[in-house]
Structure 1
Amino acid sequence: MRTNLPLDKAWKLLNHGPVTIITSAHGGKSNVMAASWAMPLDYDPPKILLVLDAAAHTRELVDASGEFGLQVPKRRIAEETVGVGQVSGRDEDKFARFNLKTFPAQKIAAPMLEECVAWLECKVIPDATQRYDLFIAEVVACYFDADRFHDNQWDFGDDPQERTMHYISNGEFFLTGERFKVPTIEE
């Protein structure tokens, strides 16, 4: 079940460094791509930092629309995650090719993907993009899978298919792993 998260807590959905999937739409076209270089940047207003290569089709759509969806995929769609990172959306509809199920976003035009554990809807803050391919974006809506995120923290349970992934290279990932706690100074 998707549940809204207060915007000032949006960083908690990305702070464990997972691979992400970017969705974009403009002018009747939409695209999807994998992205490993996304991170939380600020709390209020919530911002994220994302790298999108100038040659990417998604970049064209984001440049034109000024917005994008940022999703944290589950292990169960690892093959699709690699696939959308290797195939160009200029050549074909990646949503159809990889049989990706979508739903409408709350505040942006880009479609959002099912089979994820977190979703952030983002609007680009102009100026950092051209020279370094960096996108700073404000999070305008965020939500999570209530089975995997509760009490303001992740709980992936025992099913590895429900965990998030960390990309290494050449189609290899690490799964989010064992949870443990280290006492803090206050404890």
Structure 2
Amino acid sequence: MKHLQDVPLAKAYLLLNHGPSTLVTSEHEGVANVMAAAWVMPLDFDPPKLMLVLDRNTWSRHLVEGSGAFVIQLPSRRQAELTVDVGSCNGGELNKFARYDIATARARCVEAPIIEGCLAYLECRVIDEPHNQQRYDLFIAEVVAAYADERAFSNGRWHFPDDQLRTIHYQAGGAFFATGEAFQVAKG
């Protein structure tokens, strides 16, 4: 077919990796961390569940396994630099909250910080699936609380009043794009 080019299989994930970038916060025994994660997806509606790929070599993995909880946050375009920063260093080696002067509050239902200024928050409790966690680094979690900035999400829909209040989507190598304009198609 015209205009198609092969994509190396090792880079095939980039074809799907344009969902919103997320920040994951976790805490265990008074130690907290934040990391960037692009591989988060919804799994079920009722009760709401999601999946998160959490590499076994990350500090966040240690905290999530200890606490059984985490918070997914959707950063805005104004938080793109922060997203790259927290995704480029190891929380086991430094306190990212102090290093990047991150303003936080407490999550509503789980023991973890939330990052102020994000567009949406999903508080999650891990559904223990040792096989998936050990073999695939895949965590399944139930969403126990969800809330969003009403300027960008209301009545069950995303709407972006200005460029700074858009979700961001990580591609690779520090490259992002912002969510585009919303549109609706009438049912036929």
CA deviations 1:120-143 (Å, max 9, x no partner) are: 100000112111000000001111
Alpha-carbon contact 2:158-2:182 (below 8 Å) kept: no
Q: CA deviation at 1:168?
A: 0.3
Normalising by structure 2, we get a TM-score of 0.87
Matching residue of 1:9: none
C-alpha RMSD of the superposition: 1.1
Matching residue of 1:140: 144
Q: CA deviation at 1:90?
A: 0.9
For structure 1, the residue ranges without an aligned partner over 5 or more in a row are 1-15
1:181 matched to 2:177: no
Matching residue of 1:5: none
Structure (1 or 2) with the larger CA radius of gyration: 2
CA deviations 1:129-185 (Å, max 9, x no partner) are: 11100000000111111111111101111x211111011000110100122222322
Count of residue pairs the alignment pairs up: 169
**1:129 counterpart SS class:** helix
Matching residue of 2:13: none
For the residues of structure 1 that align with 2:35 and 2:55, how far apart are their CA atoms?
11
Normalising by structure 1, we get a TM-score of 0.88
Matching residue of 2:163: 160
Runs (4 or more) in structure 1 with deviation over 6 Å come to: none
**1:86 counterpart SS class:** coil
Matching residue of 1:170: 173
Percent of pairs with identical residues: 53
For structure 2, the residue ranges without an aligned partner over 5 or more in a row are 1-17
Amino acid corresponding to residue 171 of structure 1 in structure 2: G
Alpha-carbon contact 2:104-2:116 (below 8 Å) kept: yes
